Amino acid sequence: MALTNGINHLGLTVKDLSKSRAFFVELLGWKESGFDSSYPRTAVSDGLIKLTLWQVQNPGEVAAFDRRKNLGLHHLALEIDTEEKLQQLYQKARVYPGVDIEFAPENLAGGPRKHMMCSEPGGLRIEFIWPANV
C-alpha cells in the first residue's frame, strides 16, 4: 500500500511569473490563489490540479531546458474533455503572446486520442490530451 495520496501541488520555476500566470488564468481559465510578491510565487488551479509557479531569480541568465539532456520535468500533460475543446484551445494558443506551438492537435498513437504540444510564455512545455474515452 502506497504511503502517499496523489499530488498536493507541483512547483514549477518559470522565466516570467506574470506571463505564466496569465497563460493559466486568462487562456486556460484557471483560478489564482496564494500570490506572494516577496518570493515571488503564485498558485493556480483548474479545480483538480494545483501548480505553484515560482519566478526564477535571474531571468536573463536562464539556461534553456533540453528534455533530452536535463533532469527534471520533461513536460506537463493536461487533459481536455472534448476534441472540440482541444481544437478551440489550439486556435486560442496559436495566437496567444509568447506561446510556442510545437505541434497542432494530431492523433496520439494512431488515434482516436489526440494531443498537441506547446510551450507557455514562461518556458514550460505543456501537452494537452483529449483521451477519446473509447
HEC profile for the chain?
CCCCCCCCCEEEEECCHHHHHHHHHHHCCCEEEEEECCCCEEEEECCCCEEEEEECCCHHHCCCCCCCCCCCCCCEEEECCCHHHHHHHHHHHCCCCCCEEEEEEEECCCCCCEEEEEECCCCCEEEEEECCCC
CATH topology of domain 10-57+73-130: 2,3-Dihydroxybiphenyl 1,2-Dioxygenase; domain 1 (3.10.180)
Instruction: Quote the pLDDT of residue 41.
Output: 96
Break the chain into its structural domains and give their ranges. Answer: 10-57+73-130
Instruction: Quote the pLDDT of residue 134.
Output: 62
pLDDT at 55 over 80: yes
Mean pLDDT value across residues 27-52: 95
